[in-house]
Structure 1
Amino acid sequence: METWNHPVSIKTITDYHLESFIRCPYKFYYHHVLSLNDGEIKWREIVQYIINQVVQKYYQLPFQEQNKLSILKLFDPYSSYISPQLFEARSHYYMTLAKITDHLLQFLTSRKNQHPPLFLYEKLKTYTRELETHLSVTFELVEWSTHSFTIKKFLVEADDELIKLYNYLIVVFSDKAFGKLPEKIEIIQLFTGEIYTYSPSEEDASQGIFYLNYMKSLLQQPRDYKRTASMRECMSCPFTQQCKDDYKISKEIKNSTLNFLH
């Protein structure tokens, strides 16, 4: 595909685009660069949307109403959004909903802080001189802590690369926008029930700049994009066939070039 050779212009780096790129550069290219969309909604997208809605509405309730029954009531209007046909199998459908509901009930009701959140699903933007671009981040839940603030993010699933990305992104953004680092960052993976806790230092801010600069350079060069090694990502990707076709063509061109050079 000829457009692979054209650099991508980046004016703003968003958390959503970086997450998409980490999951699969090819999918990112089709969806965000070429603006292709098959119109289908995948199970992880709709489940993540519902989680965001429930968490946001839960924290908007008076503290005395923040309990398990309220969470289940908040889930109820969205039950029709989740069709078993979106999942790999009916067993996958039931297992996913059971695990995510159970873990969300545990985490939300374990809250001890009665003060309203500092930020609740607020999108903020700041310019980063070292990156020569803006950073845009949606802060899902930010609470006051003893000496600073704590940032929490609820995800259906997260791997090590995605966790590292989010931690660095939050550290750099907080340093540039607030002049202060969060005391703690918590990433709550609702499928497994694991909580990844990270307490950043000033050194992490400079490492974060280096990491995001590296990510920016990768984003700008589509010809260097690599397909994900995750079979799970490919199974839920709407661009699987197009990806295979383009990959085959690019491989043939590369082999022809090598043969010519030899």
Structure 2
Amino acid sequence: MTKRIVDYVLEEWLRSQTDSGSREPAKLKVTWQHRVQYAVGHAIHDYFTLEPAVRIHTPIQVLLNRRWPRSKATFKDSLHYWQVYNVIVAQLTRITGELIYEYPLALYESWETKVKELDRHLSVIFQAVWPSRLGPHQVKVQKFLVENNEELVKAFVHTAHVFWHSAYGEPPGEIEVFALLDDRKYVFTREMLDLQKSLDYVLLLAETWDAQNAAEQADKREGKADCQVPAGT
């Protein structure tokens, strides 16, 4: 059976590794970053599904508020909660304002392709795909992160590059990654991308995750075996 690489699974695993600073298995828990990322994603999707004439009269803050976390429990304190909210609103207002009349090609769609060089299926969620101004038949791929994380940026760029080359025979025209709270914008043009480096990176990331996941499953089976009481005792 051909193995499958799922981008959001690797992303969550990679985030847990970089956040903890360790390669030990990390417990999955819902953080304020998860909740904010969820609200941001839906706000962007809802905004750009509107016609430009409607967007003009629809502040993205209104759409963000629909799913913004009501509880402050996972934030550091009330001040932190409102600081994050205000920065996210300002960033999304600025970014969407620059694209207010544009029509996206795709919004938060999960696409899958077979990467023959890796002998694996690759599934990627693309948050926003736009026509690129760099040339005809080229696209701009966008990703929105709540916080700056260079490992996640690198992972997305390599993964998107491998996907696009495998599915369409060429790299995307541009890849943009926004780190909202840090006011950072990473831009990668197709000339900056190296296919072999991207293939090597994605394969290494997938194999590392596979190995750790297999080790965790083995530990769980061993733990269950140790807990079993022999019959007749």
- Give the TM-score range, shorter chain: 0.7 to 0.9
2:154 corresponds to 1:164: yes
Asked whether the 8 Å contact 1:20–1:28 carries over to 2, the reply is no
Asked whether the 8 Å contact 1:99–1:192 carries over to 2, the reply is no
Asked whether the 8 Å contact 2:148–2:182 carries over to 1, the reply is no
For residues 75 and 20 of structure 1, what CA distance do their matches in structure 2 show?
A: 23
In the alignment, residue 117 of structure 2 is paired with which amino acid? E
Asked whether the 8 Å contact 2:59–2:93 carries over to 1, the reply is no
Unmatched runs of 5 consecutive residues or more in structure 2:
220-233
What is the CA RMSD across the aligned residues, in angstroms?
2.7
TM-score by length of 2: 0.80
Asked whether the 8 Å contact 1:68–1:109 carries over to 2, the reply is no
Asked whether the 8 Å contact 2:148–2:184 carries over to 1, the reply is no
What SS does the corresponding residue of 2:169 show, helix, strand or coil? coil
Determine which structure has the larger helix proportion and give its number.
1
Correspondent of 1:213 among 203, 206, 209: 203
What SS does the corresponding residue of 1:124 show, helix, strand or coil? strand
| Structure 1 segment 145-164 matched on structure 2, within 5 A | 145-146=132-133, 147=135, 148-164=138-154
| Structure 1 segment 51-200 matched on structure 2, within 5 A | 51-67=40-56, 69-79=58-68, 81-111=69-99, 114-146=101-133, 147=135, 148-200=138-190
**1:16 aligned residue:** 8
Unmatched runs of 5 consecutive residues or more in structure 1:
1-8, 32-36, 226-245, 247-262
- The alpha-carbon deviation at position 224 of structure 1 amounts to 10
TM-score by length of 1: 0.72
2:36 corresponds to 1:47: yes
What SS does the corresponding residue of 1:121 show, helix, strand or coil? strand
- The alpha-carbon deviation at position 98 of structure 1 amounts to 0.9
Aligned-pair identity (%): 27
The list of structure 1 runs, each at least 4 consecutive aligned residues, that deviate by more than 3 angstroms after superposition, is 25-31
For residues 32 and 2 of structure 2, what CA distance do their matches in structure 1 show?
A: 29
For residues 147 and 33 of structure 2, what CA distance do their matches in structure 1 show?
A: 9
Aligned residues: 209
- The alpha-carbon deviation at position 197 of structure 1 amounts to 0.6
| 1:162-207 per-position Cα deviation (integer Å, ceiling 9, x unaligned) | 1111111000000001122111110011111211111133861111
